[in-house]
Structure 1
Amino acid sequence: MATKTFKEIPNTLPVFDKKKGLEFGVYSLGEHLVNPHNNELLSAKERINQIKEMAILSEQAGVDVFMLGESHQDGFISQAHAVILGAIVEATNQIKISSGATIVSTSDPVRIYENFATLDLLSNGRIELVGGRASRIGLFKLLGYDLNNYEELFEEKFDLLLQLNQNEQINWEGKFRAALDDAKILPRPLNNHLPIWRAVGGGESSAVKAGNAAVPMNIAMLGGPVSIFKRSIDVYRSAAKMAGYDESLLPVATGGLFYIAKDTNTALREFYPHVNNGILKANGQGFPKQAFAHARDPKSVMNIGEVNQVIEKIIYQHEEFGHQRYMAQLDFGGVPFNKIMENIDILGNKVLPAVRKYTAKK
């Protein structure tokens, strides 16, 4: 039987140590919200420094990746996320640093690439970039973009970003940006390319596009059963295979709510007001308690509970998804810093050793 010939996958994929097992990360959306337990609000300076300290503690705990999102409305402090990532780069030495996500739709891909290539040089090659479309749409009006072009803006600009990553000099013409005529894009990253992921919110159409382009997929999981998100991951790999790529080489990262306490009841009681707080700010409706209680289910994507329960859920998710990275969102909705520190400590001392032991390739 003839050996199947695959299309060449772009040489921009992130590198994973299979002997180490599932990569683990900590990520923040950069929220700046009151603590619903006491209605206290940190100053902007305190919250930015807190995010920086989260990254430092994550590195000390042996976490593989730290990720910070971008947002441009009330309730967030990460409008200039690349600037904050620059401070984190200077304060750390080994941990990978990533955006999560950079809103490509309302930014110039050339400026994005210049910023992140510079960060990569400063970090000695530790930078990754996740390109997204924005689940919160206030920035379209703020930055002067037509929301009616939501999909078109992202697809055109994300494609240009990928082309910039592949080519130092480029000719390009599109609908939403001035043409590039033999434009030389500088500086180049340390290894000439950046790992660039596509952010997917669970919708299968976006997963298909990521697979068609052989781009690593970063999928956000707010809540629900594992089976829902497995469908999107399966669709992603199927699309890559149909497009002629070896889908087994394409990495998947998942991310979702993470909170550990002494027992499940305590974890749910402590964390729910924060999650409800964050969702209420986003959509004005909050997070239904019944839906949040689904975190008790071993097949829920919400990794909330006592430590052994969370470990078992993460391992189950890895068995179902076959993914390469999990990102824990543990500062959602104004979680106080002492609880963030506790969770990072538990993550490093108990969760990571158990998960790595199970998922590492011999």
Structure 2
Amino acid sequence: MTEKQDVLFGLNTFGDIATDNNGKLLTDAESIRLVVDEAVLADKLGIDVIGIGEHHREEYAISSPETVLAGIATRTEQITLATAVTVLSSDDPVRVYQRFATVDALSNGRAQVMLGRGSFTESFPLFGYDLQNYEELFDEKIEMFSKILEEKPLEWQGQFTQSLYKENIYPKTESGRLDTWVGVGGSPESIVRTAHYGFKLMLAIIGGDPIRFRSYIDLYKRVAEQLGKPIYPVGMHSHGLIADTDGEAIDLAWKHIKTSFDKIGRSRGWTPMTKQQFEHEVETGSYYVGSAETVAKKIASTIDRLGVARFDLVYGAGQQSADVRRKIIELYGQEVIPQVKEILSKGK
């Protein structure tokens, strides 16, 4: 069975350390409070989702996104409160459920957990896990989490997790089940796993022509149908920067996105991003950079080509100023989203 819905629009942040108007780095605490304020703004603008990533690195302030979401829950009314992602492999599925069930209670049912293996591995040694068990840890923990979501007494025999005998896990949710997604970067095995457990799929498209992910969406739907699982609408997230003009946005994005990706790349053996690579991503890849009109046209085209029902814009990469970040959110909510909706409505 296929679930249909209108297209949703979200914002994702990894908790990048921001700067003030003089270029001075904010403290971790100031950056966390900034994200809360940005989520409040997004809620007021009618943006559907705020997603917060989990990282354990110096350039990111947020290592406990559920705690930040709990703070946001008490200051917002409508926006869905998500992670982007929760690194389940290095966490305890029981505690993940409990934290999100608590956020769900505080927000009157707006919590959304997005599970993933994470693109960074710092959390594994930090929490005492062996990277040699990278695959096995996620396989076992996502299976355990799927059982916990049933909110029934749990019998579980674990190898990398605790063993439980008819244990109830609290608090229970009012709806009876947490809204659960899995973030996937492009592995067919991960797509199949997501469909197998009946979870929703979020594609992390960080570069290249997004149309190449069409085959993964088809695979997700095909496997879900074969297994008799719900066929949920698929979402995607990608980086972007919106400003008053294309030129201003491109200049800011080149400066900040390059800084972010080059720093990550140094630990992974990547060559530094060239201007040509950056411009190619802006023109034909999956960077959404430009004025509100330019970004709206590109988002609408991607949604139409891929058939996704949710688009999350990743904002704030690479030490952007608080004012630049606020401007992105305002333009996204006030101009980009309405324009995308109008373009898509004309195409029906």
Q: Settle same-fold status: TM greater than 0.5.
A: yes
How does the TM-score come out when normalised to structure 2?
0.92
What secondary structure does 1:254 align onto? strand
CA–CA distance in structure 1, aligned partners of residues 199 and 110 of structure 2: 19
Show the counterpart of 2:288.
303
What secondary structure does 1:166 align onto? coil
Aligned with residue 81 of structure 1, among 50, 56, 65: 65
Residue 359 (structure 1) shift: 3.8
Is the Cα contact below 8 Å between 1:114 and 1:187 reproduced in 2? yes
Does residue 356 of structure 1 match 2:306?
no
CA–CA distance in structure 2, aligned partners of residues 242 and 131 of structure 1: 23
Aligned with residue 259 of structure 2, among 261, 265, 277: 277
CA–CA distance in structure 2, aligned partners of residues 336 and 33 of structure 1: 5
CA–CA distance in structure 2, aligned partners of residues 233 and 290 of structure 1: 29
Q: Which moves more between the two structures, 222-231 or 59-68?
A: 222-231
What secondary structure does 2:316 align onto? coil
**Cα deviations by residue, 1:16-51 (Å, 9 ceiling, x for unpaired):** 7x3xx311111111122668x975211112101111
Residue 214 (structure 1) shift: 2.5
What secondary structure does 2:186 align onto? coil
Show the counterpart of 1:67.
51
Q: List aligned pairs for 1:180-329, cutoff 5 A.
A: 180-245=164-229, 247=231, 250-284=232-266, 285=270, 286-297=272-283, 299-329=284-314
Show the counterpart of 1:22.
7
For the aligned residue pairs, the C-alpha RMSD in angstroms reads 2.1
What secondary structure does 2:255 align onto? helix
Q: Which moves more between the two structures, 333-342 or 238-247?
A: 238-247
Is the Cα contact below 8 Å between 1:168 and 1:186 reproduced in 2? no
Residue 71 (structure 1) shift: 1.1
CA–CA distance in structure 2, aligned partners of residues 318 and 164 of structure 1: 33
What secondary structure does 1:93 align onto? coil
CA–CA distance in structure 2, aligned partners of residues 323 and 227 of structure 1: 11
CA–CA distance in structure 2, aligned partners of residues 218 and 123 of structure 1: 22
Q: Which moves more between the two structures, 110-119 or 227-236?
A: 227-236
CA–CA distance in structure 1, aligned partners of residues 247 and 319 of structure 2: 20
What secondary structure does 1:332 align onto? coil
Is the Cα contact below 8 Å between 1:240 and 1:246 reproduced in 2? yes
Amino acid aligned to 1:332: A
CA–CA distance in structure 2, aligned partners of residues 123 and 312 of structure 1: 33
CA–CA distance in structure 2, aligned partners of residues 290 and 28 of structure 1: 26
What secondary structure does 2:74 align onto? helix
Is the Cα contact below 8 Å between 1:72 and 1:138 reproduced in 2? yes
Is the Cα contact below 8 Å between 1:70 and 1:80 reproduced in 2? yes
Show the counterpart of 2:140.
156
Residue 270 (structure 1) shift: 1.0
Is the Cα contact below 8 Å between 2:192 and 2:220 reproduced in 1? yes
What secondary structure does 2:171 align onto? coil
Amino acid aligned to 2:326: M
CA–CA distance in structure 1, aligned partners of residues 61 and 324 of structure 2: 20
CA–CA distance in structure 2, aligned partners of residues 201 and 132 of structure 1: 9
Residue 101 (structure 1) shift: 0.5
Is the Cα contact below 8 Å between 2:151 and 2:177 reproduced in 1? no
Aligned length: 343
Is the Cα contact below 8 Å between 2:297 and 2:343 reproduced in 1? no
Is the Cα contact below 8 Å between 1:68 and 1:100 reproduced in 2? yes
Residue 252 (structure 1) shift: 1.1
CA–CA distance in structure 1, aligned partners of residues 66 and 230 of structure 2: 33
How does the TM-score come out when normalised to structure 1?
0.89
Amino acid aligned to 2:233: P
Amino acid aligned to 1:263: T
4+ residue runs over 6 A deviation: none
Q: How many percent identity over aligned positions?
A: 29
Residue 311 (structure 1) shift: 1.0
What secondary structure does 2:115 align onto? strand
Show the counterpart of 1:3.
none
Does residue 144 of structure 1 match 2:119?
no
CA–CA distance in structure 1, aligned partners of residues 216 and 222 of structure 2: 10
Gaps of 5+ in 2: none
**Cα deviations by residue, 1:117-150 (Å, 9 ceiling, x for unpaired):** 0110110001000001011111111111000111
Is the Cα contact below 8 Å between 2:79 and 2:110 reproduced in 1? yes
CA–CA distance in structure 2, aligned partners of residues 150 and 120 of structure 1: 29
Gaps of 5+ in 1: 1-5
